[in-house]
Amino acid sequence: MYSKALVDDIRSQAMYIDYSGVIPEGLLQWLYEEKLFKLFIPEALGGRMLDLPAALRVFQSVAEMEGNLGWLTAIGSGGGMFIPNIERSLAEQLFKDEKAVIAGSGYPNGSARKIDGGYIVSGEWKYCSGSPFASFYTANSRTEEGEVRSFIFMPHQVEIIEDWNALGLRGTGSHTIRVRNALISDEYTFQLDVSQNEYAGPVHSFAFLPFSQASFMAVCLGITKHFYQEARQIVKRRMKSDDKRFHSVDQLLAEQEAIFQQKVDTFYTEIEELWNLHINENTLSETAINRFSTICKADLQQVIQEVDTLMRYLGMEAIMETSSLNKIWRDLHTASQHAFITPL
């Protein structure tokens, strides 16, 4: 999907991202120019409005180049799923900016006290990917009546607590955000099951669970493909140096790559089937959703187990944090730790 020159340029900056925990300004600008945070935003608001299968291939392709960028693309684009639920004029104001991107959390936390014309909101929300460069933030909280509402916060209302110190995906800025006694007008609140404008497309009514699982799965598949590419380079170098042990590793790698490609093909076959059901019937049965969920979790579990097995054969280079392979492996284990795609 992307040129070799672009891939090489992005990968040359990968270790800097890992060490610094920061996305270089040039790469961030590229994400904006490619509208990679706007895959589910209507063209009228400067977006690309892809269908879900096409967007998933973008997630995978970007993640194959660099895991942090793939994760941020998936999370940033996911914020576009809220656009039909926000009052029209505000949605246009928030999303028309070329650099519009949401960071936030779906977990209901904090407190929201109703007042005339709005709410007073306080709370903390963890794992808000993209928080350092978000143009606005969303988070869920319970009102005094026990209702869960979504709130829109502007940057001046948010404190970023830089506590993201995970094994991998270190450049995603998945920090905690804190809000203290923020005055949020009614216009800046919304509910996910209430449409407030005409910007909804087919993707916006797709079931939340398989949407999320498919998004994270696509990122993991992209990172895994990069892992096998890097592993192939190591094996080639070792075989060239006449290390006879690596002939068997070469065979194992070829077998794993074939199995992995089968998993990729299965994933896109399943998501196309689910998407067509959604388009044709405008609803998904619980059976179909559970089936897709089971396949995602089982296949990803096998993918990770095979990657970990191969790591044991790749020597000391595999355990050094300064190696590209190690960074890719850490990114994969971090991305795959999301609750929606873990074995349980």
| 137-to-90, 152, 294 alpha-carbon distances in Å | 14, 6, 32
283 or 27, higher pLDDT: 27
CB atoms within 10 A of CB 173: 22
- 176 and 221, same domain (yes or no): no
Return all residues near 291 (Cβ < 8 A) that are at least 6 apart: none
Domain count, the chain: 3
| DSSP secondary structure string for all residues of 43-96 | GGGT-----HHHHHHHHHHHHHH-HHHHHHHHHHHHGGGGGGGS-HHHHHHHHS
pLDDT band at 245 (very low <50, low <70, confident <90, very high): confident
pLDDT more than 90, % of the chain: 95
Q: Which of 304, 289, 291 is nearest to 338 (CA)?
A: 304
pLDDT tens per residue, range 24-68: 999 999 999 999 999 999 999 999 999 999 999 999 999 999 999
Torsional sign, CA 146, 150, 156, 161:
positive
At 294, the pLDDT band (50, 70, 90 cuts) reads very high
How confident is the model at residue 256, as a pLDDT? 97
Residue 291 pLDDT > 80, yes or no?
Answer: yes
pLDDT for 147-166, tens place per residue? 999 999 999 999 999 999 99
Beta strands in 164-286 (DSSP E): 175-185, 189-190
Residues 9, 126: one domain?
no
Mean pLDDT of 197-212: 95
Within-domain flag for 200? no
Q: How far is CA 159 from CA 123, 124, 126, 153, in A?
A: 11, 9, 12, 11
Residue 90 counted as domain residue: no
Task: Evaluate if pTM is beyond 0.95.
Answer: yes
How is residue 191 annotated by DSSP? -
Whether residue 336 sits in one domain with residue 210: yes
- C-alpha–C-alpha distance, residues 307 and 55, integer Å: 25
Q: Give the count of beta carbons closer than 10 Å to the beta carbon of residue 201.
A: 17
Nearest partner of 301 among 248, 253, 259, 269, judged by Cα = 259
CATH of residue 78's domain is: 1.10.540.10
| Both tokens assigned to 24 | 């270089």
Residue 283 pLDDT class (50, 70, 90 cuts) = confident
Residues 264 and 308 in one domain: yes
Buried b (16+ CB within 10 A) or exposed e, 306-327: bbeebbebbeeebeeeebbbbb
Q: What is the pLDDT of residue 157?
A: 98
> Which pLDDT does position 242 carry in this prediction?
82
Instruction: Please state, in angstroms and as integers, the Cα–Cα distance from residue 166 to each residue in 23, 63, 128, 239, following that order.
Output: 16, 18, 13, 34
Domain of 304, in residue numbers: 206-341
- Identify the CATH number of the domain in which residue 144 sits: 2.40.110.10
Q: Is residue 42 part of a domain?
A: yes
Q: Are residues 297 and 330 in the same domain?
A: yes
Evaluate if residue 193 carries a pLDDT over 90.
no
Whether residue 99 contacts residue 32, with contact meaning beta carbons closer than 8 Å, is answered with yes
Mean pLDDT across the stretch 196-214? Answer: 95
Contact criterion met (CB below 8 Å) for 107 and 140 = yes
Share of the chain above pLDDT 70, in %: 100
| 198 domain residue, yes or no | no
**Contact between 40 and 77 (Cβ < 8 Å):** yes
Mean of the pLDDT values across residues 292-301? 97
For the segment 3-17, the average pLDDT, to the nearest whole number, is 97
